[in-house]
Structures are given as C-alpha cells and as structure tokens.
C-alpha cells in the first residue's frame, strides 16, 4: 500500500513538472485578458491572437503527431493521428506509472568481486569435543548416579509438575526429558569442575601458516581460550587476532589441527534429538569473524578417522541503510549485553533474549548463546542447585530440587519465543566467512605406527595411563617388535600384523586444515538500482519514445509564453 502511495505521489509531481510551464502561460494569458477586459478592450481580438499562437505552436512543436493532427485537412487522417496521440499518451502514462512503482520499492543491485585493495583477516575458530566425557565423567557428580536418581524419582517429579505447577502431562514429560540428558547433566555440574583427560590431550598439534607458507609456520598449541558451554561443557577458541606474529606484513593463510576426541564412550545415555545440539561423535567446529561470539548451532561436525580440509572464503559485506531496507542496518561494533564481544545480529538477538530471561526468570537459557559476562555469575534454567555431597551419600530427595526450577524453565521457554528489546539489525559493514568442507579417511595404514610413536608412545601415555596402555596394547607390542628388528618402517606383513586390530587411531584422532587460498578477500556491495540519474534517464527515454518530448519542448513552451505576452502587449498598446 505504501509503495502505491509513493508511486501516485511521484506521478503527481511528474505531472506538475511537465505542465507547469503550460499552466503558467495560460495564467499569464488570462491575467492579461482580465486586464484588457477591465479596460473594455475587445475580447475577440485577444482570443484570436491566443488561438493563432496556440495553433502556430501546435503546428511547429517537436511533440510527435501533434503538428500532423493540426495540419491535416482529411478527417480520416486527423482521426488516425488523434488515435495515435491518445494511444501514445496512454502507454506513456502506464510506463511512467510502472517506473514510479519500481522506484518507490527501492530495488537493490549487488556487486560482487575481488577486493584487490583489501587484506585477508583469518577468522576465529572454535572447536568442541562432541563427547567431552569420553575419557570419564567428573567424580563430583557421577553420571550414573545422576540418571539413577532422576529415574528413581521420575513419577514423583512428573506428578509434582502436573499437580503443583499446573504443567500439562506433555510439558512435564518434555521438561523431564531435557533434565534426563547429557545437557541436563552438564547444567548441574560446577562450571569449573575438572574433567578427566585422555593422554594425549584434546589438542595435539596446532600450527599457523603465514602468507609465505608452507615453510613459515607458528606453533599455536597454547593459544586457545578455554570456555564453558551448556551443550558440550568445554570448548576452545583460537583468536588469531591475538597471536604474536613475527611478520606483521604477512597475513595468516592456514591453520592445521590434530585432535584427539578420545575412545568410544560405551556408557549408555538417553538420546535427545535437537537442531541446536549434535549427538554425533567427533568435533563441532564454528568459523566466525574475529572477536565475535561463536555460534555452534550454525557450525559443522567432523568425525574421527578423517582428514578434513576446510576452505574459507572471506567476503566484506556492505549493506545499504533505509529506505533500501525496511529496517535499515546498524554501525554498532560491540554487543550491549556483552561489550567485550563484537556485534553480530544473531548474538544481539540471543543476548537480548537472555537479558529478558534473566530479568524475568532469574536464569539464562541453555538454548541460546550465553554472554561471557553471564557464564560464571548466572545459573542456567534447568539447574537443580543440587547438594552434590548429599547425592554421593544417596540421600537425594525431590524436595532438594530448587523450588523454582520448573517455573524458571517454563518461563525461559516463553521468552525464547518473545521479541527482543533491542533493535537487532544487520551490520552495515560486516566480514563474512563461508566454509567448504572436504573429507577423506585418515590416516593411511602406512602412517599408523609413525603417528602412534610420535604422539602416544614417545609422550609416555602408555606408561602413565593404564587406560591408554590397555587401549593401545596391540600397537605397543607391534612397535616394540619393529624396534627389535631395528627398522620401525618395515612392512606390516613381515611380522604378521592383523590389520583389523588397527582401529584405535581412527576411532580417536582426526585432523582439520583450514585454508584461505585467495590473496584478496571478496566484496559484496549493495547499490541502489534506481538512483535519481537513472530515474531521469528512464523518464526522458519514455517521454522521447512515445511523444518525442525532450528538453527542446521546454524551450518551445517558453517561446509560446513569450509570444503570447508579446501579442497581448501589442493589443494593449
């Protein structure tokens, strides 16, 4: 409706421009005529002069068809020219209307290309082990006991929610399923609890390659920031902008990681399907702009026993503000709820909703991103506030649950679907990263014992960790037999190795290579499709095509006005 109003306004203004001079001429003639009439001058003489000038104008104007219509003596030809003028005027009006509607809709053109004067800015990379507890669950709250106590009290919990908290049976079962899951277990763990670690650790190798790679690389093993996550408990973020690079003129072009996700977890846990959580085995990865919060729900998963090459394409996005976008865009650089993190629209919406949930429910939701300022100071909705010492003594009782936990959890769900207090717009200028993943089985059998020797055997993992020693007993025996032969790189067939036993490396390890192949980023720039110069050209083309109206027509109208004034002045004298 607004577009239609804008189009009507545009046509109205256009009509005023086109007929303004003609109207002024008629007004001037009428004024002169009234002056003469007050002086008792003969009106027919004035009218004859006006008629003569108008006919002369019509016979000599550049408006197509009008001179032929006036000069033609044949009624049939005059009718044809009249039909031509009416048809062209109608078509001109329609096309001008469509042009006005298109202009009022503020269409956009997007230019895309190579930004040869730009710089490659390697993104931040966040990784999470999809099974953080593959090496063992924290002793402060054994998961077996946690699930046992929930199942033991299931009927009591459901009845309390239905009778005392006015939950429907479906709502009660849904909440119980959320609590009776690994994320529910994580919500009730201390955020700084020690988790059992495998040997070697989660991140075995990290190397950054600069613009003159592959010769120049930097070790980044100790450069990860560790942080708590409501779904995966522990995640790690590498912020490349904080790396101390020796060559300031060379940009980061690649990142190589070797990761250990641990052995398969044989302890059976409830399955809970979710779009925001992954229950695959391996690593969850998110590539995001420098300084921005990770959005793991928009990341991707990679499996153990694979070599993964992630090709990154950097694009500098520029958006137009109002009126090209109804809501416009923002130039904000930091998040209001978390000023130490850079602005993104998704994080703005998540953090704003978390602020509403905290204010109204006293907790924050595990379904949304959690601001850094909330992580260690705020409870999650669904936290029981359990006394772990009583649980270990098997003295758990339903009354020990936080009396508001049910209401808080349901309260948080209400605000998950609500609106945000902040106007979270897309940034006017934003660095975007697209990722393209290719995967292959890894490592080859030829590299198995070289890998085992370097990362497990020589790091004394088989001597200091009984679980690792039992897991890799076959590898240890074969490697030591190689040592006895004096050649670690002999053929496996020479000592009758059973290849079916060589599966522990593929079950636990993976490698990821992040690469930016281009020397320059790409740009995606929005431009107005209909600017004022474009509109003038379109209108001028339409006027010229259908009626031959051009800038010369304006001069003709001025000439007509001058002639009328001169003739009237002659009569006046």
| Buried/exposed 392-429: b ≥16 CB within 10 Å, e otherwise | eeeebeeeebbeebbbbbbbbbebbeeeeebebbebbe
Sign of CA dihedral 94, 98, 99, 100: positive
Q: What is the pLDDT of residue 398?
A: 66
Q: Is 536 helix (H, G, I), strand (E, B) or coil?
A: helix
Q: List the end-to-end C-alpha distance of the chain, in Å, as a whole number.
A: 56
Q: Three-state SS across 287-331? A: EECCCCCCCHHHCEEECCCEEEEEEEEEEEEECCCCCCCCCCCEC
Does residue 52 fall inside a structural domain? Answer: yes
Q: What is the pLDDT of residue 12?
A: 45
Same domain, yes or no, for 31 and 102? Answer: yes
Q: What is the pLDDT of residue 21?
A: 42
Tally Cβ neighbours within 10 Å of residue 85: 18
Does residue 399 fall inside a structural domain? Answer: no
Does residue 426 fall inside a structural domain? Answer: no
- The two tokens of residue 63 are 């408006």
pLDDT digits (tens, 9 = 90+) for 161-214: 888 777 888 888 888 888 888 888 888 888 877 777 788 889 999 998 887 655
As a whole number of angstroms, the distance between CA 509 and CA 451 comes to 10
DSSP assignment letter at 455: I
Q: Which of the listed residues 464, 489, 506 is the one where a domain comes to its end?
A: 506
Q: What is the pLDDT of residue 399?
A: 64
The answer to whether the peptide bond before residue 323 is cis (omega within 30 degrees of 0) is yes
Q: What is the pLDDT of residue 15?
A: 46
Q: What is the CA radius of gyration of the chain?
A: 39
- Among 242, 254, 257, residue whose Cα is nearest residue 216: 254
Same domain, yes or no, for 470 and 539? Answer: no
Same domain, yes or no, for 490 and 547? Answer: no
Residue matched to tokens 């999650």: 380
Q: Which of the listed residues 506, 523, 539 is the one where a domain comes to its end?
A: 506
Does residue 545 fall inside a structural domain? Answer: yes
pLDDT digits (tens, 9 = 90+) for 425-449: 999 999 999 999 999 999 988 888 8
Q: What is the pLDDT of residue 27?
A: 43
As a whole number of angstroms, the distance between CA 532 and CA 538 comes to 10
DSSP assignment letter at 425: P
Same domain, yes or no, for 15 and 101? Answer: yes
Does residue 214 fall inside a structural domain? Answer: no
**The domain containing residue 473 runs over which residues?**
444-506
Same domain, yes or no, for 20 and 63? Answer: yes
Does residue 487 fall inside a structural domain? Answer: yes
Beta 306-318 vs 509-515: how paired, if at all? parallel
Does residue 32 fall inside a structural domain? Answer: yes
- Residues lower than pLDDT 50 in the chain: 1, 3-4, 7-8, 10-34, 36-37, 39
Same domain, yes or no, for 497 and 535? Answer: no
Residue matched to tokens 């004298």: 573
Residue matched to tokens 């650089």: 333
48's CB contacts (< 8 A; 6+ apart) are none
Q: What is the pLDDT of residue 507?
A: 92
Same domain, yes or no, for 485 and 559? Answer: no
As a whole number of angstroms, the distance between CA 88 and CA 545 comes to 9
Q: What is the pLDDT of residue 389?
A: 62
- Number of structural domains (the chain) is 2
Same domain, yes or no, for 28 and 103? Answer: yes
As a whole number of angstroms, the distance between CA 202 and CA 508 comes to 10
Same domain, yes or no, for 492 and 547? Answer: no
Cβ burial of 571 (10 Å; 0-12, 13-18, 19+) is middle
> Do 209 and 255 contact (CB within 8 A), yes or no?
yes
Same domain, yes or no, for 73 and 8? Answer: yes
> Do 182 and 269 contact (CB within 8 A), yes or no?
yes
- Among 50, 151, 182, residue whose Cα is nearest residue 561: 50
Same domain, yes or no, for 538 and 484? Answer: no
Q: What is the pLDDT of residue 446?
A: 81
Does residue 525 fall inside a structural domain? Answer: no
As a whole number of angstroms, the distance between CA 123 and CA 289 comes to 5
Same domain, yes or no, for 13 and 87? Answer: yes
């Amino acid at each position: 409706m607004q577009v239609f109003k804008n189009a009507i306004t545009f046509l109205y203004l256009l009509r005023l421009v086109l007929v303004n001079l003609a109207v002024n001429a008629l007004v001037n003639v009428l004024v002169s005529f009234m002056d003469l009439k007050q002086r008792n001058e003969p009106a027919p003489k004035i009218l004859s002069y006006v008629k003569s000038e108008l006919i002369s104008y019509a016979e000599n104007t550049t408006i197509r068809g009008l001179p032929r219509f006036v000069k033609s003596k044949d009624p049939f030809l005059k009718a044809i020219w009249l039909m031509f003028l009416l048809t062209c005027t109608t078509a001109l009006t329609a096309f001008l209307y469509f042009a006005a509607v298109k202009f009022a809709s503020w269409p956009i053109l997007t230019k895309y290309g190579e930004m040869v004067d730009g710089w490659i800015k390697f993104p931040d990379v966040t990784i999470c082990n999809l099974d953080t507890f593959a090496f063992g669950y924290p002793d402060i709250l054994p998961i077996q006991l946690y699930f046992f106590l929930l199942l033991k009290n299931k009927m009591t919990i459901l009845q309390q929610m239905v009778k005392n908290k006015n939950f429907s049976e479906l709502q009660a079962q849904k909440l119980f399923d959320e609590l009776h899951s690994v994320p529910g277990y994580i919500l009730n763990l201390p955020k700084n609890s020690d988790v059992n670690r495998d040997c070697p650790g989660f991140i075995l190798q990290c190397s950054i390659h600069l613009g003159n790679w592959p010769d120049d690389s930097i070790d980044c093993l100790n450069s990860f920031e560790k942080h708590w996550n409501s779904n995966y408990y522990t995640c790690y973020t590498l912020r490349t902008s904080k790396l101390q690079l020796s060559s300031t003129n060379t940009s980061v072009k690649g990142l190589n990681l070797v990761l250990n996700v641990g052995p398969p977890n044989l302890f059976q846990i409830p399955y809970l399907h979710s779009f925001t959580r992954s229950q695959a085995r391996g690593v969850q990865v998110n590539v995001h702009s420098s300084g921005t919060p990770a959005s793991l729900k928009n990341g991707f998963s990679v499996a153990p026993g694979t070599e993964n090459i992630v090709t990154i394409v950097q694009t500098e996005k520029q958006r137009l503000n109002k009126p090209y976008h109804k809501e416009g865009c923002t130039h904000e650089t930091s998040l209001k709820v978390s000023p130490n993190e850079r602005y993104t629209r998704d994080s703005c919406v998540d953090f704003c909703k978390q602020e509403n949930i905290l204010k109204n429910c006293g907790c924050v939701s595990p379904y949304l991103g959690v601001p850094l300022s909330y992580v260690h100071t705020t409870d999650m909705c669904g936290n029981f506030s359990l006394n772990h010492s009583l649980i270990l003594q098997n003295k758990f009782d339903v009354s020990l649950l936080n009396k508001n936990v049910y209401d808080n959890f349901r309260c948080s769900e209400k605000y998950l679907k609500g609106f945000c207090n902040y106007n979270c717009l897309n940034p006017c200028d934003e660095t975007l990263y697209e990722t393209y993943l290719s995967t292959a089985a890894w490592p080859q059998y030829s590299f198995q014992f070289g890998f085992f020797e370097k990362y497990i055997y020589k790091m004394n993992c088989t001597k200091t960790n009984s679980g690792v020693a039992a897991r890799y007993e076959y590898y240890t025996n074969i490697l030591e037999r190689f040592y006895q032969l004096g050649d670690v790189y002999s053929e496996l067939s020479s000592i009758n190795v059973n290849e079916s036993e060589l599966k522990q490396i593929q079950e636990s390890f993976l490698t990821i290579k992040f690469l930016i192949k281009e020397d320059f980023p790409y740009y995606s720039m929005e431009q107005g499709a209909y600017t004022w110069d474009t509109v003038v050209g379109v209108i001028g083309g339409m006027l010229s095509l259908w009626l031959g109206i051009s800038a010369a027509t304006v001069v003709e109208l001025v000439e007509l006005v001058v002639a009328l004034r001169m003739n009237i002045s002659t009569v006046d004298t």
